[in-house]
Amino acid sequence: MAETSDEQRLTKTRDVSGYQINQYEQPSVTVDMLIFTVTNEGKTNYRKLPDKVLRLLLVKRKDPPFIGQWALPGGFVKMNEGLEEAAIRELKEKTNIENIYMEQLYTWGEVGRDPRTRVISCSYMSLVDSATLTVKASKHADDAKWFTVSSNLYQEQKTVTDRGMILRQLYNLTLFNDEEKLSAVIKIVKTIENKVAKVERSIIKTEGIAFDHAKVIDYGITRLRRKIEYTDIAFNLMPELFTLTELQQVYEVILDRELLKANFRRKIADMVVETNEYRKDAGHRPSKLFRFRPEWGVARD
Amino acid sequence: MAETSDEQRLTKTRDVSGYQINQYEQPSVTVDMLIFTVTNEGKTNYRKLPDKVLRLLLVKRKDPPFIGQWALPGGFVKMNEGLEEAAIRELKEKTNIENIYMEQLYTWGEVGRDPRTRVISCSYMSLVDSATLTVKASKHADDAKWFTVSSNLYQEQKTVTDRGMILRQLYNLTLFNDEEKLSAVIKIVKTIENKVAKVERSIIKTEGIAFDHAKVIDYGITRLRRKIEYTDIAFNLMPELFTLTELQQVYEVILDRELLKANFRRKIADMVVETNEYRKDAGHRPSKLFRFRPEWGVARD
DNA sequence: ATAATAGTGTCTTTCAGACAGTATAGT
DNA sequence: ACTATACTGTCTGAAAGACACTATTAT
């Protein structure tokens, strides 16, 4: 920000009349929202527990480019609106929810991202409790849908070179609901060469997902998986009262692996408080309901 | 990105003549670089080892606002240049170094950040080995200087409320070299209210540091401290060959606390390879030189 | 009784922290 | 001999993983 060209550039930008205005053309800046929730899926048997699934909100594009494809909700950052403000506004518009967990994920600024013009997108991740989702989506309504989302590593190749190593991974990203099925293949190349580590993420194939959003979604899932292990963000996906099995299911669906009950309970013991209520009428032993214990820890980056 | 206004907005932006061009005024986008290195400090006694210090590169502002104050190196993102490309270019211009570790830190987009106009800054952190720093700074030269940097928690207050808790922390950020001494006080408020965690960082006082860069620097140090514990980024600060004590000193100066030798060595054992060389003539037992073992792990977010 | 879930006890291994001890150069 | 650093061994307790066991409901 301390370049020689600062002054020239900024004063010209301010000059509100005449041709010179856009001498320094600016990239457009948008925010893109990854809004995750966890919901129950079909209960097959009267005594079986329902399965949980991880869901992401997408909107259908009504204009080219990528018309008819699905994109992350988002929009332009207004001139008099902070980045985070824009994200909060976007969240409110799409889900009618406020005061929810939100964190900045990553800013995507490659040149060819948007075929129309130069767009830099700052992505935010939000976690919402599906019980508080009153409306599916507000006025913009009908074009916003929840998709069951999963990302699996399906190929991995490690090469040791003379000055380092290369790890190539292929992830399969799947998004679907009753009507639609979207998918993508994301390649992640992690290299270390002369001590210098680098991670590159690229889209190999993307079907039905607009822009580079498949990459953004995959990144979001990766971050969510990492963070759920050492923070308490998972509770943002839970209702006020929940059973420990439900909590475990949320962890399992995000981490995409099974956890051992006894160990899981030990691990989260300090983060929850027992109540006197029970979930009954389930065809098996009733389970105690718990709530989040906020005084436990504290927000972490 | 899928708003109704997309098309209108983007086509107008493209219309290269007349007054309408800037109907949708765009924020300016910059990249700001946090370039860290570790150097040796005064060897007091012939047998004592030199102390290590963490250093950060800053440039002196030659124009208002904040004229004469120190800022992070950085500059505008060009229209045909990716965000990361811009960061790489900036790094090359300032330090003449390429192929170095770099990661995106955070994007700062508050409205009043820059008194002139709306500026959104994407910050990147780089770690360089001081031995490879041939020139202090290239052509822009004389106005770029290294500062010894440290950030200490000096006040902490925890309040448990009915629906959550609040943790208030004050950090003292200090930057100095032979000629200058800069400082700032950063307030970090971590709240949990109804499961929703939030972290807010604000500047209480800033002396000699331009814009909101004190906040950015403090955030960078926090991130560096966290990441050094679970990744191998510290090796980017080391020369080709180093002693384990030197490596430990780097960890200590970043974490700002002493580590026990035996435990430290156990922890980093898998990341290094022993060589046959020794550091001698030091007035005490010679120490074996090690190098980084790249095949050990792999880049992590 | 049975299916299905709820919940606990404990063994083992791994890892982090603490500390004490031995080793070896240069002056 | 002495100083300052180099390097190793081992005790401890905490945490993670694995697994077996007991408890309780609706039908």
CA at B283, C1' at D4: how many angstroms apart? 7
Residue A210 has pLDDT above 60, yes or no: yes
Q: Which of B61, B79, B222 sits opposite A25 (nearest CB)?
A: B79
The DSSP output letter for A134 is -
Supply φ then ψ for residue A177, to 5 degrees: -145, -165
B291 touches chain A (CB under 8 A): no
Per-residue pLDDT, B286: 95
pLDDT of residue B4: 38
Q: Which of A31, A36, A55, A173 is nearest to A104 (CA)?
A: A31
Give A163's contacts (C-beta < 8 A, 6+ positions apart).
A193, A194, B294
From CA A269, how far away is CA A261, in angstroms rounded?
12
Residues of B in contact with A24 (CB under 8 A): 76
The integer distance in angstroms from the CA atom of A210 to the C1' atom of C2 is 51
**pLDDT greater than 50 at residue A114:** yes
**Under a CB-based contact definition with an 8 Å cutoff, are residues A124 and A87 in contact?**
yes
Cβ-7 Å neighbors of strand D: A 46-47, 260-263, 266-267, 280-286; B 45, 47-49, 243-245, 261-262, 265, 279, 282-288
* DSSP label of B211: T
The neighbouring-strand residues paired with A55 are A37, A148
> Strands A28-41 and A119-129: what pairing?
parallel
Q: How far apart are CA A261 and CA A264, in angstroms?
A: 5
From B2, B118, B190, residue closest to A298, measured CB to CB: B190
* A7: confidence class by pLDDT, cuts 50, 70, 90: very low
Q: Please judge whether A28 and B26 are an interchain contact, meaning their C-beta atoms are less than 8 angstroms apart.
A: yes
Nearest to A165 among B2, B17, B295 (CB): B295
Interface of A with B in 240-269 (CB under 8 A): none
- Out of B29, B60, B104, name the one closest to residue A27 (CB): B29
A122 and B107: CB-CB below 8 Å? yes
3-state secondary structure of B169: strand
Number of residues in chain B: 301
pLDDT at B17: 31
Q: B55 falls in which pLDDT band (50, 70, 90)?
A: very high
The helix/strand count (H/E) of chain A reads as 5, 12
**Which residues of chain A have a CB within 8 Å of the CB of B122?**
107, 109, 120
Largest CA distance in chain B: 76
Minimal-distance CA residue of chain B relative to A66: B2
Predicted confidence band of residue A42 (pLDDT cuts 50, 70, 90):
confident
B232 touches chain A (CB under 8 A): yes
Closest by CA to B212, choosing from B76, B125, B113, is B113
Condensed to tens digits (0 to 9), the pLDDT of residues A228-241 reads 999 999 999 999 99
- Residue B169: how many CB atoms within 10 A of its CB? 17
- The Cα A227–Cα B41 span in angstroms is 37
Identify whether the C-beta of residue B287 lies closer than 8 Å to the C-beta of residue B245: yes
Q: How far apart are CA A170 and CA A213, in angstroms?
A: 16
Nearest residue to A205 (alpha-carbon basis) of A174, A176, A180, A178: A174
E strand residue ranges, chain A: 28-41, 51-60, 70-71, 74-76, 101-108, 119-129, 144-160, 164-176, 181-193, 196-207, 272-279, 287-292
Which chain A residue has the Cα nearest residue B209?
Answer: A2
Residue A221 sits at the vertex; the CA angle it makes with B123 and A83, to the nearest 5 degrees, is: 35
**What pLDDT was estimated at residue A22?**
40
* pLDDT tens per residue across span B66-120: 999 999 999 999 999 999 999 999 999 888 888 899 999 999 999 999 999 999 9
Chain B residues with CB-CB distance to A65 below 8 A: none
Structural domains in chain B plus CATH codes = 28-230 (3.90.79.10), 233-300 (1.10.10.10)
Residue B84 with chain A: CB contacts under 8 Å:
109-110
Chain A segment 147-206 residues within 8 A of B by beta carbon are 160, 163-165, 167, 190-199
Decide which of B137 and B27 is more confident. B27
Mean pLDDT on A82-109: 94
3-state helix, strand, coil in chain B (%, to 5): 25, 40, 35
Higher pLDDT, A5 or A46: A46
Q: Cα angle vertex B217, ends B214, B221, to 5°?
A: 140
- Amino acid occupying residue A164: G
Percent of chain A residues topping a pLDDT of 90: 73
What length is written for chain A?
Answer: 301
Residue A54, pLDDT above cutoff 60: yes
Residue B150: strand pairing partners: B174
First to last CA, chain B: 26
